[in-house]
Amino acid sequence: MIDFHTHTLFSDGDLLPSELIQRAKIKGYKAIGITDHVDESNIEDVVLKITKFSREINKLNEIYVIPGVEITHVTIIFISNLVKKARKLGAKLVIVHGETIAEPVAKGTNMEALKSDIDILAHPGLISIDEVKLAKEKDIYLELTTRRGHSYTNGHVLKLSKKIGAKIVINNDAHLPEDLLPEEFIKKIALGSGMDNNDFQKALINASNLLKKIKNI
């Protein structure tokens, strides 16, 4: 299993990076992206800490840790520059916190994020068909999430993604130990969102392909 979207106590998660990784390893994950929430106030500190941590953990070849960020609730005009800054600082995975209906995310965040050099648009809510087309054009992955609240629009995201041919990945958006779900339960949530078995396998393949891309950066 691969999860590109998790949080530690460097933002609003409950766990140290080491405990998050240990719990993920025991549950059978082979790769984890640590993508704590960032804006201009903390991006340097978070990226440098996670990059250093991942460098040491990855020497053990037990579980692959991807140093990343989730750019969150940022004023729209600043998104592109923060994406560039994250890359420059060493983030191998850049996610933007999309327009989930569970939070008051600024309208236009999805589109501005998709115009930028990101890897995943997280929980994009009631994403528009033009935004999905742009995601496909730029090979940006759209997220289906197991997280309560954010998952309310999984069916909508999946429906448009299948219609347009945009790529989907499934993430936990883990903040707590219990958020790291086993694969069989993740699959149930995916099927409940409207996926069939083939769709689920494609999402797993998408995750593997994205991990390969990240490793080659």
CATH of the domain at 161: 3.20.20.140
pLDDT reported for residue 60:
93
Reported as a single tens digit per residue, the pLDDT across 94-109 is 999 999 999 999 999 9
Position 217 pLDDT exceeds 90:
no
CB 49 within 8 A of CB 9: no
Reported as a single tens digit per residue, the pLDDT across 68-87 is 999 999 999 999 999 999 99
Average pLDDT over all residues of the chain? 97
Note the pTM of the prediction, 2 decimals. 0.97
Nearest to 110 by CA among 160, 179, 163, 54: 160
Where in the sequence is the domain holding 26, given as residue range(s)? 2-215
Beta strands in the chain (DSSP E): 2-6, 31-38, 64-71, 93-97, 120-122, 141-145, 168-171
Reported as a single tens digit per residue, the pLDDT across 139-168 is 999 999 999 999 999 999 999 999 999 999
pLDDT reported for residue 216:
87
Read off the pLDDT of each residue in 3-26 and give the average, rounded to a whole number: 97
| Domain count for the chain | 1
